[in-house]
Amino acid sequence: MDRIRIVGGERLKGTIRISGAKNAALPLMIASLLTDETLTLHGMPRLADVALLARILGNHGVDVTIAGKRAGQDTNDGQTYKLTAAEIVDTTAPYEMVARMRASFWVLAPLLARCGEAKVSLPGGCAIGTRPVDLHLVALEALGADIELDAGYVIAKAPKGLKGNRIHLAKVSVGATHNALMAAVLAEGDTEIVNAAREPEVGDLAACLVAMGAKIEGIGTSTLQVQGVSSLHGAEHRVLPDRIETGTYAMAAAITGGDIFLEGARAELLQEALEALRSTGVEVYEETGGLRVCRNGHGLEAVSVETQPFPGFPTDLQAQLMALMCTAKGVSEVRETIFENRFMHVQELARLGARIDLRGDTALVHGVNGLRGAPVMATDLRASVSLIIAGLAAQGETTIGRVYHLDRGFDRLEEKLRNCGAQIDRIAG
């Protein structure tokens, strides 16, 4: 099993090109099931999850071609995926596929909307909480689907098609909003999705669906109005830049006292996180074509944050901020309100010398004068990159195991950091 080795203490300086957002790329790929024409997606990140989803979609009959994947080709602008679901050959998504990646559960809605039936395994993914699918099923039932749970599978049927209706999501859920939206665009009549997630990735999916011929209003708000159409057509769409990658590299620059230009980053996608970063004493400002993040000489100040749905502080940056606060002056308070098991990185940060007290859903991070390199183990995607951030600042050598988590969500992480001066490499295992 591969490991990543870091010799800490280097100040990061240079330019990092921000890749397309994983959390946008996956639902965009799934949207290809809604039409028999070709959906072309530009700026796709090179990630294990994207490659896995391509194989899952292939099982349903989607033909996938990829440009920009050969050795020697320019990697800065991502890959272009052409997805064509001319014919759906199988409406079943088996356990062995869906259990490997939670987002693949979202094939449920487009398969049901287009084919009138779907059988999809209950999902897997990172072990960061229960994340029930009840909201997804309630949304589909509101559109007239008959839902049955049998032997770990969701069996959904709508032989006469879905019917528009009012869907009120009891809790803000990105996944449930994705599923509701993809079902509603082909439902007969009008649908209103209330308490919809406002995350930029939801807006990116909606924009792509509009380019495919869907009629959607209220994009970017908590209420989406959808006028169903009989069919969608092909389209071209560019994936929006990854706000989580942006925040991650911003914090890497901050913890090392570095100066990094994040090319392609968009400030409006993560304002709350950038404000938290500024509160620590780090300089963050917009330049033409991206964001610059730097910290020169002065120490880090403690901050308090609470994870919230967009536009609040994102849960996917909680672990990274905690790593940054390990070396801040004072006590930082980090409250996790989205997932109940998302503090598994705490014990690994402690191996590097961090002082963190857990009190229910809140972590109190007591800043220390410095971290020390040690062997650590990644527990999930975002936790693994928090260990990278801490390792960049730690004295001596840090080795991180189970880095397959990183490959799921970060495009060429070692290369990008190495180009900015980090001593980081991968050890094949």
Active site residues: 126
Token pair belonging to 38: 């070709």
Which amino acid, residue 384? S
Which amino acid, residue 383? A
Site of tokens 């950091």: 417
Residue 132, marked binder? yes
Task: Give the C-alpha distances (Å, rounded to integers) separating 265 from 15, 274, 363.
Answer: 11, 12, 29
Cα–Cα distance, 420 to 14 (Å, whole number):
5
Residue 174, marked binder? yes
219 Cβ neighbours under 8 A, 6+ residues apart: 203, 206, 207, 210
User: Residue 249 CA to chain centroid, in angstroms?
Assistant: 15
Residue 173, marked binder? yes
Pairing of strands 13-17, 190-194: unpaired
- Nearest CA to 322 out of 366, 376, 278 is that of 366
Residue 3, marked binder? no
Site of tokens 């002056």: 329
Residue 134, marked binder? yes
Instruction: Find out whether 216 and 225 touch, Cβ atoms under 8 Å.
Output: yes
Task: Give the C-alpha distances (Å, rounded to integers) separating 325 from 264, 302, 321.
Answer: 26, 6, 6
Residue 171, marked binder? yes
User: What are the residue ranges of helices labelled H in 220-280?
Assistant: 243-255, 271-279
Site of tokens 């409006």: 268
Residue 229, marked binder? no
71 Cβ neighbours under 8 A, 6+ residues apart: none
Task: Give the C-alpha distances (Å, rounded to integers) separating 363 from 9, 300, 392, 398.
Answer: 26, 18, 22, 23
Residue 82, marked binder? no
Binding-site members are 22-23, 102, 131-135, 171-174, 316, 338
Binding-site members for phosphoenolpyruvate are 22-23
Binding-site members for UDP-N-acetyl-alpha-D-glucosamine are 102, 131-135, 171-174, 316, 338
